[in-house]
Structure 1
Amino acid sequence: MSLPGVGQGAAALACVLIAVAGRVAAGLIPPVAPPVIATPMRWNPFSETVANVRLGAQDPVVFRSMLAISWMWFFGAVFLSQFPAFAKDVLHGDEQVASLLLVLFSLGIGAGALLCESLGRRGGSQAQGVGLVPIGALGMSAFAIDLYFAVRGLQPSALQDIVTFVGVPAHWRVMADLVLMSLFTGLFSVPLYALIQQRSPAGHRARIIAANNILNALFMVASALIAGALLGAGLTVPDVFLATGLVNALFCAYVFVRVPLYGQGLRALLRGR
């Protein structure tokens, strides 16, 4: 961490305390008995990976939700991996500014996740919050694209620390874009996870979630390769952000057309029932 007045020891202690708090919270989850299904143990990770993905693909809604979650990880990985270069080369900030971007992104994700319960409840039990997914996708693209335009007018300057950076009015739009983009990412992702768990058969739910995690990892690797290729081709970091926001709109539009459930949930959410 590179925040002023925060040493390595304090940062490490904070990480440990947060981990302990998470473990305590996990222990408060009500226990649930596993389903009694005799599934033979197979030690070939490749065949089991394929089998797990096929289980998820049996329900098109589940599989396309898995793809949407994996795309969310692609989207987030593009931004997170480019924050150091974005802070230094575009925002003219030091490592403190790069840390600030990470903090803003994390706060936005958390806020979006917390908002899902209260906002999704408006759609009733049948909607299950899936109406938030199109709203989240729209916000992700809108603020990713606005971030591109927000940095176009920034003038070159000497390297700035976090105090100097925050004191520049033009930077507030950049920070707002990051917070709101990540907030809508939280609105986008949480209902998808809930939908997968709701629609997956109890006996195969864990395997389908495992398949989802595998797809997530593949999409994150792809994000690094594609972002590297775009930067190598001469695009700037803001250009990559703009392209990601535009592709997000196209990808999500495809998923929503193929899965009408999201549109139905959105209509239920807007009607308030």
Structure 2
Amino acid sequence: MKADFSFFATRRFLPLFGTQFLGAFNDNMLKTAIVVLISFHGLSLPGLPPEQLVNLAAGIFILPFFLFSASAGKLSERYDKARIARLIKLAEIAIMLLAGAGFLLHSAALLMGALFMMGTHSAFFGPLKYSVLPQYLKEEELIGGTGMIEMGTFLAILVGQLCGSVFTHNGPLLIIAALLGTAVFGFFSSTAMPSVPAGAPQLKLSWNFLGDSVTLVREAWKIHDVRGAILGISWFWLMGAIYTTQLPTFTKLHLGGDADVYTLLLALFSIGIGVGSIVCAKLSHGKLQLGIVLLGSAGMTIFGADLALGALAPYHGRLATLPQFLAKGGSWRSIVDVSLLGFFGGFFTVPLYTWLQMASPDEFRSQAVAANNIINGFYMVAAAIGSALMLKSYNSIAMLLLAAAALNILATAHLAWIAPAIWRQRWDWLRALRPGAAS
């Protein structure tokens, strides 16, 4: 069975892809624009220095995932997911109007409010985008669809970050127009999503957000394969949080590159994940191949470790511009490492997200994705705390990245232990490449 992406241009997939892409793009454009205003244009709240305000913005965006993911999962299970998507995207337009007022008035309070609401928007859309895929796509299309969603998400993150930085330096009107226009296009894209039957129309909604979250994670943990998929995906987000958070400072202190060098490396990392997601889907030949997770993990360990080993010593001297960095002899080692780190990250995550969708009962799928989002958030917080402790002890980002690569071996071994299918299927994807094997 060959990988087939012909579904991409159909109504079963393209409206969902467009809605997801535009939402992720707007998320990151708004977050980056606010950080740029804080860092370079004097946006402030009384009593908070800029670096604390940046951390506050990050916390404000992620808080809704802890508060509302359980409710979001229930909502997507209780009603038609396409209808919920349209309501969410309509709310995004209102959020961007609030953000526009914040940019015009240079008001940190309004922008932080808009950021919290945009985090809430994303918390409600997250369970929907993955749980609706099995309702839109055939089983043999699911791995390809998941790969396309992953590719689109990381490219949207990259482009959103770049646009948020560039547009904000040119005054408020351009960034307001971009945010509002993207939200409007996202809404129109959602109107083309086909209606689907509710997974659990009898499900009761609740205002007990904290209690619902605890209950939801407990219920998800009872399903063995769902638990394994969530642990694997959450580890990926922990690793991703370490690399994306530390990459700017690592570029400056260990690679000796300026902001343009960092932008290049971030772009290569994001593009690598996108390309890796598509190649993973191709190698899977329309079937869930859990063994590819081991290949992805091995690549993440090898190239993550090589990135750290290639720049163990701190850099002293003037920061290199992008042309100067590219002209340096050792720069291409870092470029290849970052690119392949992202590439194999795509191999690691796509099978796990597909596994989560396939392992979840129809009436629980949205809630399983919501539980995954909650645990992802905890892992990313753990990444921040662990990184801070490691840097306090060793004061070396290269050592932190080397430790992350080593821990990845242990985490993958644990994942294969609780999910033996990952080890049993380690060569299945390779056998499928033989002539006649995938016909």
Report the TM-score range of the alignment, normalised by the length of the smaller protein: 0.7 to 0.9
Distance 1:2 1:49 in 2: 34
> Which deviations, in whole Å up to 9, do the C-alpha atoms of 1:202-249 show, x marking residues without a partner?
111111100100000110011001101111112400000000000011
Matched, 1:48 2:212: yes
CA shift for structure 1 position 35:
1.9
Per the alignment, do residues 201 and 82 of structure 1 end up closer, same or farther by CA in structure 2, a change over 3 Å counting? same
Q: Residue 118 of structure 1 corresponds to which residue in structure 2?
A: 282
CA distance, structure 2, for counterparts of residue 103 and residue 62 of structure 1: 32
Q: TM-score, normalised by structure 1?
A: 0.88
| Amino acid in structure 2 at the alignment position of 1:118 | K
Deviation at 1:9, TM superposition (A): 4.8
Matching of residues 65-104 of structure 1 within 5 Å: 65-104=229-268
Runs of 4+ more than 3 Å apart: 6-31, 152-157
**2:418 paired with 1:258:** yes
- Which amino acid in structure 1 is aligned with residue 364 of structure 2? H
The one-letter code of the counterpart of 1:270 is: L
- 1:2 Cα shift? 7.8
More relative contact order, 1 or 2 (CA 8 Å, 6+ apart)? 1
Give the aligned residue type for 2:355.
Answer: L
TM-score by length of 2: 0.56
1:241 aligns with 2:401: yes
Larger mean CA deviation between 148-157 and 213-222 belongs to 148-157
Q: Which amino acid is 1:111 matched to? A: V
Query: Take 1:36 and 1:267, find their aligned partners in 2: how far apart are those partners?
Result: 38
In structure 2, relative to structure 1, the CA distance for the partners of 1:246 and 1:84 (3 Å cut) is same
Query: Secondary structure at the residue paired with 2:317?
Result: coil
- Measure the CA separation in 2 of the matches of 1:17 and 1:117: 32
Asked if 1:35 corresponds to 2:195, the answer is: no
Gaps in structure 1 of 5+ consecutive residues: none
Alignment of 1:102-141 (within 5 A): 102-121=266-285, 125=287, 128-141=288-301
The amino acid that maps onto 1:99 is T
Letter in 2 for 1:119: L
For these two proteins, the number of residue pairs brought into alignment is 267
| Residue 267 of structure 1: aligned partner | 427
- Alignment partner of 2:309: what SS? helix
Contact map agreement 2:199 2:364 (CA 8 A) in 1:
no
1:178 aligned residue: 338
Query: CA distance change for structure 1 residues 2 and 263 in 2, over 3 Å: closer, same or farther?
Result: closer
Give aligned-pair identity as a percent.
32
Tell me, yes or no, if the aligned pair for 1:143 and 1:180 is still in contact at 8 Å.
Answer: yes
One-letter code aligned to 1:46: L
Q: Where does the alignment leave 5 or more consecutive residues of structure 2 unmatched?
A: 1-160
